[in-house]
Amino acid sequence: MKILNGRELAGFIKERQAHQVRSMSQKPKLLIIRDSDNPVITKYVQLKIKYGEDIGIVVEDYFASSIEDIAKKIESANQDDSINGIIIQLPLLDKSKTDELCNQIEPQKDVDGLGEKAQFDSATATAINWLLAGYDIRLNTAKIAIVGRGKLVGAPLYKMFTNSGYDVSLFHRGDDLSKLIQYDVIITATGVPGLITNDNIGSNTCIVDAGTASEDGVLKGDISEEIRSRTDLSAITPITGGVGPLTVTCLFDHVIQSASK
């Protein structure tokens, strides 16, 4: 069984990125805007700050006091030539404002790829694509299931795979997940701990768990713990170090591309 180690792949790309940044006359800058100190959000922000330090990119972590404050910060950052990338660390406290605020980001600075006119693909969806390609998981002959229709992963990944001509189905977390047993590749990103159980998974299945939630301060994925003890799977992401590290790597790749333009 293959362990889909995103951290290992990210390490190779990170070396290339550091070299690119060193050759630039001015350090690129990424602005992260958030309105929550949720442990999962805080962890991902800290990871991005550390990654930026490692490759020479400036990262500003801005904690907004309100939705209006977020909108004002985006507006000023859009006009600031020293800022090459802007992301809103999701989820917002008021999730209903997500689309409106993401669409406010200038398309060439929308490095998370979440706005309607963004010039970049979704960073997380791209990271999953990189991960599967890096471990030679053949998608063109596979039956693929994506569980979760969220803006960060499910929706953009479904669009990406559909455009590539793959055989892909999209499930909501409330759907009948027993049907997943028919699929060769399962990618899940709902943020519901233990949603996918042993009974949902057939043998020789490749599983990418991109779901993250916090239970008593511990990060949990979408797949149940019993699945990880199985030996009949073809591939699976580790508890940590799967999609997350590559998502950060992809995000900074977009910041470098934006700065290069």
What is the pTM assigned to this prediction?
A: 0.88
Domain definitions of the chain by residue range? 16-115, 123-243
Contacts of 153 (CB under 8 A, 6+ apart): 122, 124, 125, 128, 146, 187, 189, 210
Give the residue-averaged pLDDT of 102-129: 96
| pLDDT of res. 91 | 87
Q: How far apart are CA 102 and CA 99, in angstroms?
A: 5
**Tens of pLDDT along 212-239?**
876 666 778 999 999 999 999 999 999 8
Edge-to-edge strands, sheet with 58-63: 58-63, 29-34, 85-88
Do 16-115 and 123-243 fold alike per CATH? Answer: yes
Percent of the chain at pLDDT above 90?
88
Using alpha carbons only, give the angle 191, 197, 200 rounded to the nearest 5 degrees. Answer: 110
| Topology at the third CATH level for domain 123-243 | Rossmann fold (3.40.50)
User: pLDDT tens for residues 164-174?
Assistant: 999 999 999 89
Query: pLDDT tens digit string along 58-94?
Result: 999 999 999 999 999 999 999 999 999 999 998 899 9
Q: Which residue has the tokens 């990880």?
A: 228
pLDDT at 217: 66
pLDDT at 122 over 80: yes
Q: What CATH superfamily classification does 16-115 receive?
A: Leucine Dehydrogenase, chain A, domain 1 (3.40.50.10860)
CA angle 30, 32, 118 (to 5 degrees): 70
Tens-place pLDDT, residues 154-209: 999 999 999 999 999 999 989 999 999 999 999 999 999 999 999 999 999 999 99
